[in-house]
Amino acid sequence: MNQALTQLLRSFILKPANKDATDYFRGVVKAGEMSERVLTLTESVIRMNPAHYSAWQYRYRTLLAINAPLDEELELMDELAEKFLKNYQVWHHRRLLLQRGALAKTPAAELAFIARGLSYDAKNYHTWAYRQWILAYFNQDALWEGEMRYIENMLEDDVRNNSAWHHRFFVVFSNGVRKGDEDREDTIRREVSFTKEKIALAPNNASAWNYLRGVLEHSDTPFASLREFVLPYTVPAHSSLDDVRDDSVVDLENPRPSPGADLPCPAAIEFLADIHEAVGDLQLISFRQLWKSLADEHDTIRKRYWEHRISEAQASRDS
């Protein structure tokens, strides 16, 4: 272990305040004490080590045992959540408090608090997971109504924010049909159109391609229905495909890659290969050839994976 790191760890372990606090904590747990003093002690331990599961658990049990004001505890969590944003325990503790009725603010204000946290770290998994829990737990139409606008703002800031794409799928598909989305076919068209626009903006954005796949699979929509959209993303810029297109015609259904895009796009080639494999169209470019281009040129980091797919397909054809 690096000598400086070793010294840092030793200084933490041997620092009297840290050692005393953890020793005292073990003592009160052994004695089964639950009091205001225990709340002070566990707060000290948590501030020193916010991942201390036992301290969080014992603190929660103590809060309930002595009927401590949970609204005051929630105010403390406001501070600790901002300070220890990436820590799972602080968000879980906050959730437990709300399940016990501790909500000094409205659920909408709680979403605003979460948004502040995401403004510091827009991809923090624990914060997004807590946001989803708030939406599902309170399940108020007013909360859901503003969520799509919030997600779109997040994707405007960073179209590659995979957490925001994941949250969008949760809002649209994973928690029932929301008001205004009763026409599911219209919802699917909207989501496909939205995702196409984002792919055109940043073709090599894996998050958007994965979302597109998710929408199609969720709605049992054949991938082949998007072949016309996908094809321009599978060839180099200024390829022979450009010779047959009329630039004066804007196809809103199939937006083309943005100028200067790095093409061909590996995700689009994979998508096209999946189309060919699914329909078994041997008159088009073989999906095995597309996989080979990924293995040899466009996605070499997964070379062995693509070679495995090619071998499997060959074995299946020969059997």
Annotated active-site positions, please?
86
Nearest to 115 by CA among 137, 102, 103, 130: 130
Distance CA 210, CA 11 (A): 46
Token pair of 193 as six digits: 């159109």
Six token digits for residue 9: 């760890």
End-to-end Cα spacing for the chain: 54
Q: Token pair for residue 274?
A: 């999946």
CA distance 198 to 255: 10
Q: Which of 136, 140, 126, 256 is nearest to 200 (CA)?
A: 256
Distance CA 167, CA 187 (A): 16
37-44 long-range contacts, CB within 8 A, separation 24+: 38/62, 39/63, 39/66, 39/68, 43/76
- How far is it, in rounded angstroms, from Cα 131 to Cα 115? 9
